[in-house]
Amino acid sequence: MNGQLITRTLFVCLTALLCNFSASSQNKNINNNKKTMKPESVAKDAATKVRIKTDMGEITIKLYDETPLHRDNFIALVKKGFYDSLLFHRVISNFMIQGGDPLSKNAEAGAMLGMGGGDLERIPAEFRPNLFHKKGALAAARDNNPQKASSACQFYIVQGKKYSADELNMMENQMGSKFSADARNAYSTVGGTPFLDQNYTVFGEVVAGLEVIDKIAACSKNAQDRPLSDIRMNMEIIP
């Protein structure tokens, strides 16, 4: 594991928290970007859903109105075709699947990915107490910048795992904050990655195709968590 947060380490700032959970083995930071964004002015789109077509099936995502900077940025990129033919370049079973690196479009087999998009400006964090990392949550990747601002293009979709009440209680004690009743119920029934809450911006959720996330997360991969067989995406705005 090298020292570059944008390529290898997921959530280094959470190492101490994760050490008491099985997720600690996934302690790597989700990604990148160097400047804080002055978001492009994008008129609110009536459509709030995005269809992601992958080599393993389709995923439908609903974007949240509570996170307008991330919503509008994502809509603008989808409309431009930015994500078309990019890869899900990092997948970690029981954790998340990550994509959106523009360098992945023409990447050679086995090449390390995750550094693309650093020339784009970051998006200011939009943390909301009611938006959490349940299974199927769409969230923005970022590096270890102190503002916790998001990558302008790289994202991840949570697979996660289920947690017991005792595990959630322990997390609350270590984090110094409480999970809402809705969050506790989700984490104990459908699963997620609760230790990421209020550290990475959640700006949407999967409304169809959760089984596709499971398929992608279960694929064979190399030491850098890149799938051995490329998994490409294409996106479109849908009603």
Q: Which pLDDT value is given to residue 151?
A: 97
Nearest Cα neighbor of 134 from 102, 157, 164, 100 is 157
| Beta-ladder partners of 161 | 192
- For the chain, give the mean pLDDT: 85
CA distance 91 to 226: 6
With contact defined as beta carbons under 8 Å apart, do 162 and 38 qualify? no
Q: Which pLDDT value is given to residue 95?
A: 98
Give CA 17 to chain center in angstroms: 19
Q: Which pLDDT value is given to residue 119?
A: 83
- pLDDT tens digit sequence for 151-183: 999 999 999 999 999 999 999 999 889 999 999
With contact defined as beta carbons under 8 Å apart, do 139 and 213 qualify? no
With a pLDDT cut of 90, the percent of the chain lying above it is 76
Q: Which pLDDT value is given to residue 118?
A: 81
Nearest Cα neighbor of 192 from 169, 164, 141, 158 is 158
- Comparing 20-34, 115-129, 178-192, which segment has the lowest mean pLDDT? 20-34
Burial of residue 237 (number of CB atoms within 10 Å: 0-12, 13-18, 19+): middle
Q: Which pLDDT value is given to residue 239?
A: 87
With a pLDDT cut of 70, the percent of the chain lying above it is 80
Query: Residue 30 — pLDDT band, cuts 50, 70, 90?
Result: low
Q: Give the pLDDT mean for 228-234.
A: 97
Quote the radius of gyration of the chain (alpha carbons, Å).
Answer: 16
Domains of the chain, residue spans:
12-34+45-238
Q: Which pLDDT value is given to residue 31?
A: 53
Structure tokens at 107: 């990447």
> Over 90: is that where the pLDDT of 7 sits?
no
Q: Give the pLDDT mean for 102-114.
A: 94
12-34+45-238 CATH pick, 1.10.10.10, 3.40.50.300, 3.40.50.2300, 2.40.100.10:
2.40.100.10
Query: Residue 62 — pLDDT band, cuts 50, 70, 90?
Result: very high
For the entire predicted model, the pTM comes to 0.84
With contact defined as beta carbons under 8 Å apart, do 145 and 171 qualify? no
CA 20, 167, 127 angle in degrees (round to 5)? Answer: 90
The residue with tokens 């938006």 is: 131
Burial of residue 60 (number of CB atoms within 10 Å: 0-12, 13-18, 19+): middle
